[in-house]
Amino acid sequence: MILRHESNNAKSTLLLKLYAVTVVTALSLGVGSAPVYAQAMPVENDIAIHVQPVNMRQLHDQLNLTPDQEVQWQAALDAMRQSHSSERMSADEMQSRMQTMLAQPILDLSALHAIHEKTAQQDAQLPEQSAKAWLRFYSSLNDQQKTTFSDAMRPQFENIAHHPARPYDPRTGL
């Protein structure tokens, strides 16, 4: 019975540590008021829209790109890949550092927050670089190509537009 109690105590300690990290991360990300959204959302928004990802190879073939447009396409793909790769590497590094910190008997919440902030700052410019590369590519397309591109991307943007999150008043959190 005593051994079982000690085992449960170790599990409880680990769960408390994970809970503390989750709370700090959630608050630093600004999602501490997420339950408010869930309670205030109308029932009709509970249905999620499932959209298939864009098949980039198929879209590429449909666009019939000129050599100059092909250079822009490749630059946009490279920027997107670099952004995703860097964000994954930063997340892996952050997770590794957090695991080391979680092994300590006393959590250093300031250090955990600093790790999160450093990672967020490192990754902040990556999506913007990718977006600029895609905008340069899109501006090089003719109207027919823009229509093809728009038709392929429209379901993705419609899914974003129908996302159940809604703006809230920062003064009240509602």
Residue 14 tokens, joined? 């680990």
Residue 113 tokens, joined? 């927050």
Does residue 89 lie in a domain region?
A: yes
The span from the CA of 159 to the CA of 8, in Å, is 44
Does residue 154 lie in a domain region?
A: yes
Does residue 84 lie in a domain region?
A: yes
Does residue 150 lie in a domain region?
A: yes
Does residue 105 lie in a domain region?
A: no
Q: Quote the number of domains for the chain.
A: 1
168: three-class secondary structure by DSSP: coil
Burial tier of 121 (Cβ tally within 10 Å: 0-12, 13-18, 19+): exposed
29: three-class secondary structure by DSSP: helix
Does residue 86 lie in a domain region?
A: yes
**Structural domain of residue 77, as residue ranges?**
56-93+126-165
Provide the residue-wise pLDDT of the chain in tens; the chain has 174 residues: 444 444 444 444 444 444 444 433 333 333 333 333 334 444 444 444 577 888 899 999 999 999 999 999 999 999 999 988 888 888 888 889 889 988 999 989 898 888 888 888 888 888 889 999 999 999 999 999 999 999 999 988 888 777 666 555 556 655
* CB-based contact 53:155 (threshold 8 Å): no
pTM for this entry: 0.59
Report residue 129 CA to chain centroid gap. Answer: 16
Does residue 133 lie in a domain region?
A: yes
* CB-based contact 152:63 (threshold 8 Å): no
Predicted local distance difference test score (pLDDT) of residue 31: 37
Q: Which residue has the tokens 């509970």?
A: 46
